[in-house]
Structure 1
Amino acid sequence: MLLALLCTAAMVVMAGEAMLIAAFPVIEAEFGVSSVFTAWILPAMMIVGAMTIPAIGVLGDRYGKKRLLIICLSIYAAGAIGGGFAEDMLSLLCCRALQGAGLAVGPIACALIAEQVPERLVPSAIGLVAATDGAGTFAGVLAGAYIVEQYSWQTCYHGMAPVAVLLVLAAAIIVRPSPVRGGRGVDLAGTALFSLAILGGMIALSLWDPSGLPGPTVAALFALALGALILFLHREGQADDPIFNAGFFLKSPVRTVCINDMVVMLLFFLLLQSMPYIIESPAGLGLTAFSVGLIMVPGTVADMISGVVAGKIVQKKGFQFAFAIGALEIAIGCGALIVFPLSVPVLVLVWTAISAGMSVLLTVDNIVVVAAAPRDTLTTASALIHTLQSVGGTLGPLITGIALVGHSGAPAGTAFATIFAIGGAIAVLVLVQAGIVQGTVVESRNTERSTREKPAFFSCSGRD
C-alpha cells in the first residue's frame, strides 16, 4: 500500500506539472504576455522545489516523514484548486508555486522506501517510483493536450484538484509513522540565503537580453544572487547540522551523480518547454495542440518503462552500466535533433530517446544517493539531489524562453537551432560523466548489517 500511494503521488505531481505544456501558446495569447513569462509556468513549480526541498528534507528527518508528506501534498492540493480560477499570469504562477511543494514527494518517497522497504528491493522500488513519474508526464501531456484543444486549460485544474485532495487523505491513512531524531529545527537563515540565491539568479536570467551585456538591474540581481550564495556556503561550512551537507556531496560517486541530475533535468526541461513551439509554430511543424501530446506519447511511455528497467539493471550489472546506457540514449536523441531536419518521426525519436535516457539516469542517481546516505539523514540526502534536479528544471525553460525572445526577429528556426546546440553540448557533458563515474564502497546504513555483502551497485572501487 505504501509503494502504491507513493507512486500515485509522484504520478499526480508530474501530471500537474505537465498538463499545461500544450497550452503555452494559448496562455501566452490569452494573457497577452511574451514567451519569457510563459517560460515561468514550468519553473514556478521547480524553483519552489529548489528553495524548499533542502529544509523539507531536514524537517522530515527530525519531525517525521509522514507529517511532512501530508503538509506538502496539502499545499500542492491548494495550488491545484486555485489554478483553475487564475485570471492572469501572476495568479497562475502563484498557484504553480504552491504546486511546487508537491515536488518534495520525491525525496520523502525515496527516504520512506529506503526505510520501510526490504533492502534488496530498494533499487526496484525507486525505479518504480521513477516510472510513475513518467506515467504522470504521460497522463499530463496527453490528457492536457486533449483538454486544452477541446475545452480549456482551466479544465485541467478542475479535474486534478479532487485527485490531489484524495491523496492527502490517503497519505494520512496509509503511511506508517517513521522514527524521528529531533533537533533544533531547520536553519531559517541558511534557507533564506539559499532561496535568495536561487530566486535572484532565475529572475536575472529571465530579464537578461542575451543580445547585449546585462543592464544595471540584471547585473545587480546577478550580484545579489552570487553574494547570497557565497554567504550561504560560508554559513553551511560553519553549521553543526547544515541543510546542505558539503561533505556528503563531495563523496565519490555522489558528486558526479548529483551534477548529472542537474544537467539532465536542464536538458529535459529545455526541450519540454520547446516542444509546443516546435510542433505548433509556423517556424516548426505548424500542427495542432493535440499533436503535441501525440508526438510526446512514445517518449513518456519510454520514460515509464526505463525507470523500472534501470532499477533492475543496477541490481544485476551495477550502476555504472546503467549510467552508460542512459548517457548513450541522451546522446542519440540530441544527435538526431541536430543532424536531421524537423519532422514528426524525428521528434518522436528525439523525445523517446531523451525521455528514456533521462529516466534511466535520474533513477540511477537517486539509487546511488540513497545507498550512500546514513539512515538517520535519508530525507536530507535525498533532498540534496532533488534540489539540484529542481535547479536544472528551472534553468531549462528559462533558457528556452530567452532563446525564443532573443531570436524573435531572426529567420525562422534560428531560436530552435540555438536550443538544439545547447542540448548537444549537454549531451557531450553527460557522456563525459559516464566515462569518469566510478563506484566506491559505501558503508552500510545499518551497523548490524555491516558484515553483509555491499549492494551490487557499489561493487566497484575507484575514484571519479
Structure 2
Amino acid sequence: MLRGGAGLGGEGEYDVRYAWRATGILVTLTLVVMYTEGMLVPSLPTIQDQMGISAADASWILSIYILMGTLSSAIMGKLGDLYGKKRMLLTTMVIYTVGAFITGFSVNYPMLLVGRALQGVGMAMMPLAFALVREEFPPRMVPQVQGLISAMFGVGMAVSLPLGAYVSQTMGWQATYHTVYPFIVLEDLMVYLYIRESRVRNPQPIDWVGLFLLTVSLSSGLIALTEAPTYGWSDPMVISLLVLFVLSFGVFILYETTERYPLVPVNLLGNRNVLASNIGVALAGFALFLMAQAVTYLFESPQPLGYGLDILSTGVMMIPMALVQMVVAPIAGRVITRIGAKILAIIGSSIAIIGLVMLTLLSFSGLPLIILSMSVLAAGVSMVNVSVINILVFSVGRRNMALATGLNSVFRNIGSAWGPAVAGTLMSMYQAPLIVSLNPIYWVELPSHFAYQLMFILTAVLYVFAIMIIVTLSQEIFVRGEIRVRAYE
C-alpha cells in the first residue's frame, strides 16, 4: 500500500477523544513499568547479600528478564496481529502482574527468578502498545504520543532510582515491589475497561518451526552474552553458545524464506526503513545500558579509580539524565513532522556522539562534568528512540504492525544485552590495582581509567556507524507534514 501525500491533520475514521483518553492510559502504563523495573536496580547488592548468591547469579536477576522479554516481544507481536493487540496486551500485563507479586514475596533465589521471568514476558507490553497507537490513533497524533511514551522511560527512571535505593535501605528490597502493586493492578483494570480492541487482523497460522528456531537462537545468544563477563569469551561453553546462536539464526532466516506463512515475513526484513530502525534502536539500547553499567562502577569505585559514592548517591546522580529524557522525548515527538524523522535521527546520533566524546575526555574531571556529559548523551539517545519508532510504524502496514514493533523490541533487547556484556568484559580486561590496606598490604583490582574511556569511545564509533546506516538505508517518512513512504502489508 502506498501512502503518499496523506496529510497528518486528517482524522477520518479515527475517534480523537478516545485517542487522547487511551494516551493517558498507555503513557501511565509505561511510567508504572519503568518505575517498577528501575526500583529493582539499586537493590541488587542487597538481594545478593540476603540470598547468599554470587555476583554472577545476581546478574541473572536482570538477564532472565531481558531473555524472556526478547522472546515474548517476538512471539506476542505475531499473536497480537493474529488474535488482537488489546487481548495480547492484557495477557502480558496480567502475566507481568503475577510475576511482580512473586518477585516481591520471594523467599529464595529460584522463586525470585521465576517471578523475574514472568515479568520479562510482560515486556511485550511496549511493542503492543506502540502498535495500538499506530493503528487506532489519528496519524497526526502518533509522533506526539510516541514521544510522550518515550518520555515516560525517563520519568520512571528519574523517580525510581533514588526512591528505590531509599526504600531498599530503610524498609527492605521487597518493599520496593509492595509499593507498586496498587498501580499495576489499576493499570490492568484501565486497559481492560477503556482500551479498544484493534480492528485489523492477520489470520495466518503460527509458524511453530520458525518460533522454535528463533527461541533457540535468541536464548543461546543472550545466555552467552550474560555469562561471557564471568567465564570469559574464550570459555568453551560461551563459544559453543555463540556458535549455536549464529547457526540457529542462519537456519531461521533460510527457513523463513521458504515458509508460506513465516514468523517474520521476508518483505518485512527487506524493508529498508525497518532494517534501519532496528539497527538504530539496537545501538541506542547498547549505548544506554553500557553507559549505565559503566557510570555505576565509576561512581561507586573508591578513589582514585572512581568517586566512592554509595548506592543512594549513585541513584541521585542518574536523575539529571532521566530528566533530560523526560523533556527531550516529547519535544522530539512534536518537531519530528516538521524536520523529518531521518533528520532527527541523524541529529540525535550526532548529539549522542558528542556526549560520548565528552565522557571519554571528562570522566575523571569531576561529577558536574560527568553529569553534563551523561545528559548530552541522554538527549541524543532520546531523539534516536523517537525517530526510529516513528520510521518503523509509518513504514509497516497495519496487518503486521504488532509483529514489526515486537521485532523492534527484540533488536532493542539484543543491544541492551550486549551493552552490559561488553562493559563487563572491558572492565575485566583493563584493571588497575588499588591498595586498601597497608598493614598488612592488601590491594584489589578495579576497572582502570582506560577501561571507561575505551567503552565510551567504542560506543561513539558505533553511533557513527548508525549515522551511515540511517543516511544510506532509511527513507524520509515526513515531508512537509505529510506521510511519504511505502508501507508494506
Same fold (TM over 0.5): yes
CA contact (8 A) 1:403 1:415 kept: no
Preserved contact between residue 45 and residue 97 of structure 1 (Cα < 8 Å): yes
Residue 438 of structure 2 corresponds to residue 418 of structure 1:
no
Unaligned runs of 5+ in 2: 1-20, 435-444
Greater mean deviation of Cα atoms: 13-22 or 296-305: 13-22
With over 3 angstroms needed to count, the CA separation of the structure-2 counterparts of 1:225 and 1:372, relative to structure 1, is same
Q: Distance in 2 between matches of 1:91 and 1:351?
A: 36
1:323 aligns to what?
345
Q: Which moved more, 1:218-227 or 1:361-370?
A: 218-227
Q: 2:237 aligns with which of 211, 217, 226?
A: 217
Q: Which amino acid aligns with 1:310?
A: A
Query: Cα gap change, 1:209/1:115 in structure 2, threshold over 3 Å: closer, same or farther?
Result: closer
TM-fit CA distance, 1:413: 5.0
Task: Find out whether 1:107 has 2:136 as its counterpart.
Answer: no
Separation in structure 1 between the aligned mates of residue 362 and residue 250 of structure 2, nearest angstrom = 43
Q: CA 1:165–1:455 in structure 2 vs 1: closer, same or farther (change >3 Å)?
A: farther
Deviations 1:313-343 (A, max 9, x none): 2111111221122112211221122112433
Q: Distance in 2 between matches of 1:348 and 1:253?
A: 33
User: Which residue of the other structure, out of 413, 420, 423, is the alignment partner of 1:397?
Assistant: 420
Question: 5+ unaligned residues in a row in structure 1: which ranges?
Answer: 443-452
Q: Cα distance 1:401–1:41, how it changes in 2: closer, same or farther (>3 A)? A: farther
Alignment correspondent of 1:446? none
- Work out which of the residue numbers 293, 302, 312 in structure 1 matches 2:315: 293
Preserved contact between residue 36 and residue 402 of structure 1 (Cα < 8 Å): no
Q: For residue 190 of structure 1, what is the aligned residue in structure 2?
A: 210
- Equivalent residue in structure 1 for 2:328, among 306, 309, 330: 306
2:190 paired residue number: 170
Aligned positions of 1:238-387 closer than 5 A: 238-282=258-302, 283-342=305-364, 343-387=366-410
Q: Once the 2 structures are TM-superposed, how far is the Cα of residue 249 of structure 1 from its aligned partner?
A: 3.1
Per-residue CA distance 1:340-384 (angstroms, 9 max, x = gap) = 243321331232122222211111100000000012211111112
The code of the aligned residue for 1:301 comes to L
Query: Within 2, Cα distance between the matches of 1:80 and 1:400?
Result: 28
What amino acid does structure 2 have at the position aligned with 1:433?
A
User: Is the 1:298–1:348 contact (alpha carbons within 8 Å) kept by the matching residues of 2?
Assistant: yes
Q: CA deviation at 1:219?
A: 2.5
Q: Distance in 2 between matches of 1:174 and 1:303?
A: 28
Number of aligned positions between the proteins: 451
Match of 1:440 among 475, 478, 483: 475
Alpha-carbon distance, 1:128 to partner:
1.0
**C-alpha contact 2:229 2:421 (8 A) present in aligned 1:** no
Counterpart in the other structure of 1:2: 22
Question: 1:11-160 alignment to 2 at 5 Å?
Answer: 11-160=31-180
406-415 or 73-82, which deviates more: 406-415
**Residue-by-residue CA offset, 1:159-190 (whole Å, 9 max, x unaligned):** 12232122111110011112242524432322
- How large is the RMSD of aligned CA atoms in angstroms? 2.6
How many angstroms apart in 2 are the aligned matches of 1:31 and 1:199?
A: 26
Give the conservation status (yes or no) of the 8 Å contact 2:340–2:479. Answer: no
Q: Secondary structure at the match of 2:272?
A: coil
Query: Is the Cα–Cα contact under 8 Å of residues 318 and 458 in structure 1 kept in the other structure?
Result: no
Deviations 1:262-313 (A, max 9, x none): 0110111112233333222324211122112211111111111111111122
Could you report, residue by residue, the CA deviation over 1:3-61 in whole angstroms, capped at 9, with x for unpaired residues? 11111111111122211222233333333444433333333222212112121111111
Query: Contact 1:209/1:406 (CA < 8 Å) preserved in 2?
Result: no
Matched-pair contact (CA < 8 Å) for 2:430–2:450: no
Counterpart CA distance in 2 for 1:80 and 1:457 is: 42
Distance between the aligned counterparts of 1:382 and 1:60, measured in 2?
Answer: 11
Matched, 1:428 2:458: no
Aligned match for 1:231, one of 248, 251, 270: 251
Pick which of 199-208 and 118-127 moved more: 199-208
Note if contact 1:295-1:347 (Cα within 8 Å) is conserved in structure 2: no
Q: Which amino acid aligns with 1:346?
A: L
Whether the 8 Å CA contact 2:102–2:115 is kept in 1: the answer is yes
Contact 1:36–1:398 (CA<8 Å) still a contact in 2? no
Distance 2:23 2:99 in 1: 24
CA distance in 1, matches of 2:185, 2:134: 26
- Aligned residue for 1:372, secondary structure, equals coil
- State whether residues 39 and 397 of structure 1, in contact with CA within 8 Å, keep that contact through their aligned partners in structure 2: no
2:439 matched residue in structure 1: none
SS in 1 for 2:179: helix
Higher alpha-carbon Rg: 2
Residue in 1 aligned with 2:15? none
Paired AA for residue 85 in structure 1: F
Q: Secondary structure at the match of 2:180?
A: helix
Q: Label 1:40 to 1:352 Cα distance change in 2 as closer, same or farther (>3 A).
A: farther
2:437 is aligned to: none
Which amino acid counterpart does residue 255 of structure 1 have in structure 2? Answer: L
Shift of 1:428: 2.0
Fraction of identical pairs, as percent: 28
Closer/same/farther in 2, CA of residues 338 and 402 from structure 1, 3 Å limit: same
Cα distance in 1 for partners of 2:144, 2:127 equals 16
Q: What is the TM-score of this pair, normalised by structure 2?
A: 0.85
Is this contact kept in 1: 2:426–2:455, CA < 8 A?
A: no
Distance in structure 2 (CA, Å) of the matches to 1:254 and 1:180: 20
- 1:202 CA displacement: 2.2
Aligned AA (1:111): A
Q: Which amino acid aligns with 1:326?
A: G
TM-score by length of 1: 0.89
CA distance in 2, matches of 1:7, 1:171: 12
